[in-house]
Amino acid sequence: MNQDILNQFSNHLFWDVDKAHLNLSQHKAQIIFKVVEFGFLSDWELIKRLYSKEEIVEVVTNLRSLDKRTHAYLSLVLNIDKTKFRCYSQQQSSPNFWNC
């Protein structure tokens, strides 16, 4: 069952790990992070079916970094104030080269 669900995600999301060793509950933060940062809308719909809104909110608000667009999107879609995100309050002192 676990493997069937993981195979539904876009292939590019887990290029660096062996999907056979991923566990939906143990690696929840890693899966959610990869989907919100690099996934397609179909991947987003899949995590919304797999995890509760509270679980997604807990993970994304505790991420150390998010690009500005993803941060704004998550704030809007999940109805969370931008200042509640860890990445907002602990921004890097030198911005990332690619972060527009």
How many domains is the chain built from? 1
Span 6-56, pLDDT tens digits: 889 998 998 888 888 888 889 999 999 999 999 999 999 999 999 999 999
Residue 85, pLDDT > 50, answer yes
Span 64-81, pLDDT tens digits: 888 888 888 899 889 998
In a domain, 74, yes or no: no
Q: What does the pLDDT read at residue 100? A: 44
Amino acid at 2: N
In a domain, 42, yes or no: yes
In a domain, 10, yes or no: yes
Task: State the sign of the Cα–Cα–Cα–Cα dihedral 83, 84, 89, 94.
Answer: negative
In a domain, 75, yes or no: no
In a domain, 89, yes or no: no
Q: Which residue blocks in the chain are alpha helix, DSSP H?
A: 2-6, 28-38, 41-50, 53-61, 68-77, 86-89
Domain containing residue 13: 2-63
